[in-house]
Amino acid sequence: MPKRRGMRTWVSRDGLSTLVFLLPLLIIFGVFSWFPIGRALVMSFQETNLVSPPTWVGFNNFVNVLSDPLFGTAVSNTLYFMLLALIFGYPIPLVLAVVMSETRHFKGLYSALAYLPVVIPPVVSVLLWRFFYDASPNGVFNSILGWVGLGPFPWLQDPGTAMPSIVLEATWAAAGGTVIIYLAALLSVPPELYDAAEVDGASIWNKIWHVTLPHLRGILLITLILQFIATAQLFTEPYLFTGGGPANSTTTVLLLIYHYAFQNSLGGDYGMAAALSVMLAAFLGIFTAVYFWLTRSWSTSS
Amino acid sequence: MMSRVAKWRRGGAPEGDRRIVSVADWRRPGVRRTLRTIHGVTLVFLFIVGMGPLLWLAKSAITPTQDTLRTPMALWPHGFDLSYLVTAWTQTHIDRYFMNTVWIVVGCWLVQITVATTAAYTLSILRPRFGNVILGLVLATLFVPSIVLLVPLYLTVVNVPFLNISMIDTFWAVWLPAGASAFNIVIMKRFFDGLPHEIFEAARVDGAGPFRLFWSVVLPMSRPILGVVSVFAVIGEWKDYLWPLLVLRNPDLQPLSVRLPTLQSSTQLDIFLAALLISSAIPIALFLLFQRMFLRGSGLSGAIKG
Amino acid sequence: MVALAIVTVSACSSSSTPSPIASAPVASAPVAGTPAPAATPTPATTPKPVTITVCSLLPGSTQSAFDAFNLRVDEFEAQYPWITVQGQEYQWLATTFTAQLAAGTLPDVFTIPFTDGKGLIAQQQIVNIDSRVRALPDADQLNPNLLVNGQDSSGKIFAVPTAAYGMSLTYNRTLFTQAGLDPDKPPTTWDDVRADAQAIAQKDKVAGFAQMATQNTGGWQLSTLTYALGGRMESVGSDGKVTATVNNQYTIAALQWLQQLRWTDASMGSTFDYNWSSINQAFAAGQIGMFLGGSDLYTTLIQNDNLNPADYGITTVPLASVSTAALMGGGTLAAVNVNTTEAQRDAAVDWINYYYLGDMTNQNDAVANAKALQANKQPIGVPALPIFTKAIYDQDQTWIASYINVPTAQMAPFMNSIFTQPLDSEPVASTQTLYSLLDPVVQAVLTNKNANITSLLNAANTQVQAAIDKGE
């Protein structure tokens, strides 16, 4: 500690240079983070369309959002999306990572294949999959499934299958990254633990259940929360796949915010967009807080 | 936290056989057969899932539209035509949009690195009097999901406060907001906190000023963490769609991600698929070239997040 | 280095964006909201150099289409040597227009649908060009029924109609022949349409009839169907108060008709999220037998979608035999951005007169335009509704008669009876909102076998009424 104080007195003679080093942070955060955050809060209590001067409307925007029939749809769609993403996207990477960590040959090939979809630009993936999802019997997926006597399925053209189709692509595109994260975490399991289990005569399955998984507990919880936060903010996939359709079955909260702000060709309702954003922020803020609390306890405990 | 990363990096390759499946397990024929089957199935699965769509795209990029529409899984029932790739390259100007993407990624990376290193250097090493207040304000932004900023940030870029200029249709509108990443600053600061301060003392005794200290001592020492932040920056901007869609309306400036959906509805399918193939080929080539770096960066990002 | 290069690019390509480096004599744009001085007529002496940005073509148009456009720009600049014209790709989309408006990235001259004219005038987003337009030689010949879309309540002109379309039934002649139908005898009633759609679906294995359903086009097409059956989406009271009537019996009938094609006949294919661009693309690729499209669609189908001209056929939209049945028509207005100088506004109206109107009223311009299009193998003689009087329209047709290269015989079913159809304009209040609220209704009918049409329309009606009352 005394050393640090020494540094500080040294710096106090150079207040100007400290300020110079601080400038990028102050300017960038001031203009592109702190100011817009404050503005979002202010706007959520205003009626503004950028054309006429803004007026204060109290909680009107929040009331309007909450009474919009689409709000309930968007919330339940978003929760449905999160649930599906959990079912599709959570176990598969874990199983893959455990299997891949035990391969003796072609390690690089496994990782490269798993990671390949992550490298493809997301927009390219969506546009390509949009074509795969062609609902005619001649569609790519329907042709393949037709070989084994399945389908044709409507994919994006049906309110029931549109959301699972979107989540399937999103999982395909993201799973490789999660696999690599798990692989790294698996390598951090202390080998002594496996040795000890081996001495106790544990089977392979027992070792996975009693050594590997408990050790991954922390990172599993964290990827879970990160996935929640990320899926709640997903925009590109539903926007490009369906634009929220058919019949609003894939309208997520984020799409609704975009809709409020930019959909009406004669000027958006930025107040309602801001109000819904603030509500989403409050909700996600809870998850974020839990995330930081967890990572803090995690890093101090290890 | 960093110690785990360091351990993993030191370890490099996994430690021999001391894993879930021990040497003893491996010797049993039943186990070996089952495991080989599982590995084989996994490899085939990964191949179909990872390579399948790309192989199909490669096939269809040189197949006439009508064949792709009517028999998407047939191999060139009416021959193939490489000219679609040429047309896609020349007519849809993939090269221009790819370069736009590159400029955007490079610029964002530069801004992010600049802000993160200078900020972390100030907050961790120079430690000005109001450092903790500023750090608190930066940390607070971590709790605000980026989507909340969509509309106000857009309005800010349309009319930048004090300057009264619009950054719409300039790359600055993408570059500068990218710098406001609290996450970068936090991990960079933690790294700087862990550096041995004796070295800074020694540098000071040698007469190095704050700039010299930053440039010649701190930056060279922070190469590992710069790599991690860079991977985050590049992957993040590579995926960005909504923001450039809003602020880059001029087609000449749009990155691939924004331009391709527009082209989809106005380009013939064969040419469009060729354009998609070219758009994927470049990043895949880069990935194969720098595979080790990519995978290590991603693994590290997990370790950091952990 | 990097930054400099990029900024220069942006300065060259869009003069409406303030940027640190101006490479051309670009007049600086005043800040939005600055009160504009009163309009002045074009001075007699040669004015100072001025640059304007204008809409060129849809994104993704072929190079030869751009070449034809550039040829016209060169001619214009030769006639008006002090004006520099910079083309900018442009497509009006309800979903992106407001972002462009808010950001000030629209060109100095831009086009909007008839439906947004009044709203943009009320919001003071477009310039009063009344005196400039009235000074044009043929201004008094503009069709007053169309002009009204670009006028404020006192009759001041803010935007000029540049194109008017009546909806048409667009069909694929090749698919008709393959299905055993006579392409020269297209359907004339909705029952015929249904029967032909069924034949095409069965024989050709493609969609017999297709319907747009996203980006406000679902509501737009549903309104077209409703009008043709005799209904209207809004009624205007004697006090001027607008009432939403989207749950009227004709709209219900229109949706039931779609329901029959989709679920009873299965003749609508398997894609139900078409928008304007993607349905054109699918039609050009031979995946659609019939759909409702603007009569001027041929140009886009050629320029963007590589249509085989032999496939193309249009006829008039069948009208039910009730007195209120009408053809819904719309069109495009050209307007001038408020972020322009007086000199730019003068130049903008000169451009509108030259590019959008001149080829209809002036023989030299008409022939020059036709030659430019011909040189680049672009369509000439695409059917459209007259912007000016029918007499001027007919005269124009004789000027360009020898240049016409579109398959007129295939357009005959449309041309023979379009001028006898009663034309009515789109819903007047909150039009785009009305369309966007009806999109999910159309989607529901097309994707959910058990969709309850009445309750969907009742719910939509409440929302449309709320939007009208709020003035959105």
Amino acid identity for residue C467 in this structure? A
Of B106, B252, B262, the CB nearest to C13: B252
| CATH code at C166-327+419-470 | 3.40.190.10
In angstroms, how far is CA A155 from the centroid of its own chain?
Answer: 23
Pick from B60, B85, B110: which residue ends a domain?
B85
What is the SS3 assignment for C289? strand
Average pLDDT over residues B216-239: 80
Q: Does A239 touch chain B (CB under 8 A)?
A: yes
Enumerate residues 6+ apart whose C-beta is below 8 A from C421.
Answer: C166, C316, C317, C319, C326, C327
pLDDT one-digit tens code per residue, A127-180: 999 999 999 888 899 999 999 988 789 999 999 999 999 999 999 998 888 888
- Residue B106 near residue B287, CB atoms below 8 Å: no
Q: What is the pLDDT of residue C3?
A: 31
Q: What is the pLDDT of residue C259?
A: 96
Task: Identify the burial level of C166 via C-beta atoms within 10 angstroms of its C-beta, where 0-12 means exposed, 13-18 middle and 19 or more buried.
Answer: buried
Number of neighbouring beta carbons within 10 Å of residue A148: 7
Whether residues B117 and B243 share a domain: the answer is yes
Q: How far apart are CA B282 and CA A43, in angstroms?
A: 42
Contact C58 B266 (CB under 8 A): yes
Amino acid identity for residue A135 in this structure? A
Q: What is the dihedral of CA B87, B89, B90, B93, to 10 degrees?
A: 130
Q: Is the pLDDT of residue C219 over 70?
A: yes
Q: Is the pLDDT of residue C7 over 50?
A: no
Whether residues B21 and B139 share a domain: the answer is no
- In chain A, which residues have their Cβ closer than 8 Å to the Cβ of B161? 31, 35
Residue intervals in chain A for CATH 1.10.3720.10? 65-301
Average pLDDT over residues C365-385: 85
Q: Is the pLDDT of residue A10 over 50?
A: no
Contact C59 B168 (CB under 8 A): no
Of C124, C270, C272, the CB nearest to A246: C272
Q: What is the pLDDT of residue A3?
A: 46
Pick from B235, B251, B266: which residue ends a domain?
B266
Residue with more model confidence, B48 or B3: B48
Respond yes or no on whether ipTM tops 0.95.
no
Q: Is the pLDDT of residue B16 over 50?
A: no
In angstroms, how far is CA C461 from the centroid of its own chain?
Answer: 25
Q: What is the pLDDT of residue C19?
A: 26
How many inter-chain contacts (A to C, CB under 8 Å) are there?
Answer: 92
- In chain B, which residues have their Cβ closer than 8 Å to the Cβ of C4? none
Confidence of residue B226 (pLDDT cuts 50, 70, 90): confident
Tokens of A92: 């598969």
Q: What is the pLDDT of residue B56?
A: 93
Whether residues B222 and B136 share a domain: the answer is yes
Enumerate residues 6+ apart whose C-beta is below 8 A from B27.
Answer: none
What CATH number has the domain bearing residue B192? 1.10.3720.10
For chain C, how are helix, strand and coil distributed in percent, rounded to 5? Answer: 50, 15, 35
Scanning A104-123 for CB atoms below 8 A from B yields 106, 108-123
Is B173 contained in some domain?
Answer: yes
- In chain A, which residues have their Cβ closer than 8 Å to the Cβ of B193? none
| CATH code at A65-301 | 1.10.3720.10
- Residue carrying structure tokens 């808010």: C102
Residue with more model confidence, C19 or C216: C216
Which H helix or E strand runs over C22?
none
Enumerate residues 6+ apart whose C-beta is below 8 A from B83.
Answer: none
Q: What is the pLDDT of residue A289?
A: 79
Whether residues B130 and B221 share a domain: the answer is yes
Q: Minimal Cα distance from A134: which residue of C?
A: C271
- In chain A, which residues have their Cβ closer than 8 Å to the Cβ of C111? none
The full set of domain ranges for chain C reads 47-164+331-403, 166-327+419-470
Q: What is the pLDDT of residue C218?
A: 95
Q: Is the pLDDT of residue B42 over 80?
A: yes
In a mutational test of the B interface, the residue from A101, A116, A206, A301 whose CB has the highest number of chain B CBs within 10 Å is A116
Q: Does A128 touch chain B (CB under 8 A)?
A: yes
Enumerate residues 6+ apart whose C-beta is below 8 A from A106.
Answer: B43
Whether residues B256 and B236 share a domain: the answer is yes
Q: Is the pLDDT of residue C95 over 80?
A: no
- In chain B, which residues have their Cβ closer than 8 Å to the Cβ of C63? 91
Average pLDDT over residues C2-22: 28
B15 min Cα distance to partner chain C (Å): 46
What's the per-residue H, E or C state across A177-196?
A: HHHHHHHHHHHCCCHHHHHH
Residues in chain B, total: 306
Q: Minimal Cα distance from C274: which residue of B?
A: B265
Q: How far apart are CA C244 and CA C439, in angstroms?
A: 16
Is B285 contained in some domain?
Answer: no
Confidence of residue A296 (pLDDT cuts 50, 70, 90): low
Count of the separate structural domains present in chain B: 2
Task: Please give the residue range of the domain that contains residue B103.
Answer: 93-266
Q: Is the pLDDT of residue C37 over 70?
A: no
- In chain A, which residues have their Cβ closer than 8 Å to the Cβ of C441? 247
Whether residues B141 and B190 share a domain: the answer is yes
Of A37, A134, A183, the CB nearest to B149: A37
Sign of CA dihedral C105, C109, C114, C117: positive
Q: Does A193 touch chain B (CB under 8 A)?
A: no
A37 min Cα distance to partner chain B (Å): 6
Query: In this structure, which topology does domain C47-164+331-403 adopt according to CATH?
Result: D-Maltodextrin-Binding Protein; domain 2 (3.40.190)
Of B4, B146, B198, the CB nearest to A233: B146
Confidence of residue A234 (pLDDT cuts 50, 70, 90): confident
What is the SS3 assignment for B240? coil
Per-residue b or e along C245-284, where b marks 16 or more CB atoms closer than 10 Å to that residue's CB: bbbbebbbbbbebbbebbeebebbbbbbbbbbbbbbbbbb
pLDDT one-digit tens code per residue, C342-369: 999 999 999 999 988 887 888 888 888 8
Per-chain mean pLDDT for chain C: 84
Q: Is the pLDDT of residue B250 over 90?
A: no
pLDDT one-digit tens code per residue, C158-205: 999 998 888 899 999 999 999 999 999 999 999 999 999 999 999 989
A151 min Cα distance to partner chain B (Å): 16
Of A28, A108, A177, the CB nearest to B180: A28
- Residue C437 near residue C414, CB atoms below 8 Å: no
pLDDT one-digit tens code per residue, B176-209: 999 998 888 888 888 888 888 888 888 888 888 8
Of A50, A248, A264, the CB nearest to C432: A264
Q: How far apart are CA C31 and CA C106, in angstroms?
A: 14
Whether residues B56 and B129 share a domain: the answer is no
Confidence of residue B241 (pLDDT cuts 50, 70, 90): confident
Name chain A's partners: 3 or more CB pairs within 8 A: B, C
Q: How far apart are CA C435 and CA C233, in angstroms?
A: 10
Of B106, B168, B266, the CB nearest to C17: B168
Name chain C's partners: 3 or more CB pairs within 8 A: A, B
Pick from B69, B85, B101: which residue ends a domain?
B85
Check whether the bond before C25 is cis (ω within 30° of 0). no
Q: How far apart are CA A143 and CA B60, in angstroms?
A: 15
What is the SS3 assignment for B290? coil
DSSP conformation class of C151: B
Whether residues B80 and B103 share a domain: the answer is no
Confidence of residue B12 (pLDDT cuts 50, 70, 90): very low
Q: What is the pLDDT of residue A2?
A: 43
Enumerate residues 6+ apart whose C-beta is below 8 A from C154.
Answer: none
A69-89 vs A253-262: helix axis angle to the nearest 10? 140
% of chain B residues with pLDDT over 70: 90
Q: Does B10 touch chain A (CB under 8 A)?
A: no
Contact B151 A277 (CB under 8 A): yes
Contact B168 C105 (CB under 8 A): yes
- In chain A, which residues have their Cβ closer than 8 Å to the Cβ of B197? 3-4, 7
Is B101 contained in some domain?
Answer: yes
Q: How are beta strands C207-209 and C288-294 bridged, if at all?
A: parallel
Check whether the bond before A36 is cis (ω within 30° of 0). no
Q: Does B134 touch chain A (CB under 8 A)?
A: yes
C97 min Cα distance to partner chain A (Å): 5
Q: Is the pLDDT of residue C221 over 50?
A: yes
Whether residues B104 and B197 share a domain: the answer is yes
pLDDT one-digit tens code per residue, A29-43: 999 999 999 988 998
Is B242 contained in some domain?
Answer: yes
What is the SS3 assignment for C335? strand
Q: Minimal Cα distance from B158: which residue of C?
A: C103
Q: Is the pLDDT of residue C18 over 80?
A: no
pLDDT one-digit tens code per residue, C400-438: 888 998 998 999 999 888 888 898 888 988 888 899 999
- Residue B284 near residue A113, CB atoms below 8 Å: no
Confidence of residue A51 (pLDDT cuts 50, 70, 90): low
Of B168, B172, B265, the CB nearest to C103: B168
- In chain B, which residues have their Cβ closer than 8 Å to the Cβ of C103? 154, 158, 166, 168-169, 246-247, 249
pLDDT one-digit tens code per residue, A112-125: 899 899 888 888 99
Q: Is the pLDDT of residue A75 over 60?
A: yes
Bridge partners of C168? C293, C316
Quote the pTM value.
0.83
In a mutational test of the B interface, the residue from A180, A269, A279 whose CB has the highest number of chain B CBs within 10 Å is A180
pLDDT one-digit tens code per residue, C320-343: 999 999 999 888 999 999 888 999
Q: How far apart are CA A295 and CA C56, in angstroms?
A: 54
Average pLDDT over residues A212-221: 82
pLDDT one-digit tens code per residue, B108-146: 999 999 999 999 999 988 888 888 889 889 888 877 777
